[in-house]
Amino acid sequence: MILVTGGTGFLGSELIKQLTDKGLVVRALKREKSKIPFLIQDNPLIEWFEADINEPSTLEEAFAGITKVYHCAAFVSFNPKDKKQLFHVNIDGTSNMVNLCLENNCRLLHVSSVAALGNAKKGNKINEKDFWEYDAKAHSYGLSKYEGEMEVWRGITEGLDAVIVNPSVIIGKNAGFEGSGAIFKLIKDGFSFYTNGASGFVDVKDVAKAMILLMDAEVSAERYIISSDDYHYKDLFGKIAEGFQIKAPTNEAKPWMLGIVWRVLKFASWFTGKQPSITKDAAKSSLILSYYDNNKVVNATGIKFKPVADSIKEITQHLK
């Protein structure tokens, strides 16, 4: 039987849909107050199990009869104030999953992130051989994903059968305006700036598809970048604006401008009590040029990625 953590999340729910579409029965973890997405509501092939990955005692029963585990649960934030929770969920929670997979002889597919990869060497694209050079000053999310992935590698040295995937920015219409969907809301609301950065992007359906293919493949102790296309933010924002049939952002946000913005928003948050929409870590990340090599996963699975331009068109049509 298959166990999926983070079953009510953006990626987890898409993964469960694809698994159950194949007629497979899935046991999915959810927290007490989590809402089941419309995408997988009233699905008779899903057995919901209330548990917390940070509470091993509640997890043990969930492993009864399980042979395969997809670990999708994670906490995402670029706010330095969330460092404690990021480490608690992404590192400690992953450690718990690794230990239980070892105890129950389960195969694990762990969802890491490109944030856990190293920087490009000599202008080349980032690939799976690039390991992050430890930097205590790095943003907390990237650090938590790096350390979480290290827990999986620790498990592998102890005999764990595991595969790691490193998705780039995951997009899809079911995100709405949350998570990566916040980019679409920003442009839809008339944001007129772009940054001189770049990153990889990939459709959520392709991420789930690649995960299933890798789980079923005869590979272990390997990591795979899952990314479709690299986009400069100016081009990405322009493509999103085109989908919404509005004017594209034309003003470049210089580093000094971003420095002022995140400081002003942080100051304002002291009075409003609301988290700033742009943090120091987010501003810094938006200026980095990151390009990703997806050849390894393509060669291993034969997957053909959906062009990001097609995903953007689908998303903007859905969100209009």
d(CA 138, CA 227): 22
Q: What is the pLDDT of residue 266?
A: 52
- Quote the pLDDT of residue 267: 47
Q: Which two tokens stand for residue 4?
A: 């999926």
Complete domains list, the chain, with CATH: 2-176+200-230+291-306 (3.40.50.720)
In terms of Cα–Cα distance, which of 256, 161, 260, 263 is closest to 216? Answer: 161
Q: Residue 202's pLDDT is what?
A: 98
pTM for the model stands at 0.92
Which residue in this structure is represented by tokens 């859905």?
318
Contact (CB, 8 A) for 69 and 101 = yes
Compute mean pLDDT per 10 residues along the chain, 320 residues long, and list them: 96 98 97 91 96 90 96 87 91 97 98 86 83 72 92 98 97 92 90 88 98 97 97 95 95 68 51 60 72 97 98 95
Please say whether the dihedral angle defined by the alpha carbons of residues 132, 168, 204 and 82, taken in this order, is positive or negative: positive
User: How many CB atoms neighbour CB 71 within 10 A?
Assistant: 27
Q: What SS3 state is found at 245?
A: coil
Where does the chain show beta strands of DSSP type E? Answer: 2-5, 26-30, 46-50, 68-71, 107-111, 162-167, 169-171, 193-194, 198-203, 222-226, 229-232, 251-252
Q: At 117, which amino acid appears?
A: L
Residues 6+ apart with CB under 8 A from 52: 31, 58, 59
Determine the pLDDT at residue 137.
64
E-strand ranges in 177-305 read 193-194, 198-203, 222-226, 229-232, 251-252
- What is the structure's pLDDT at 262? 42
The pLDDT of residue 186 is 86
- Tell me the three state secondary structure of residue 162: strand
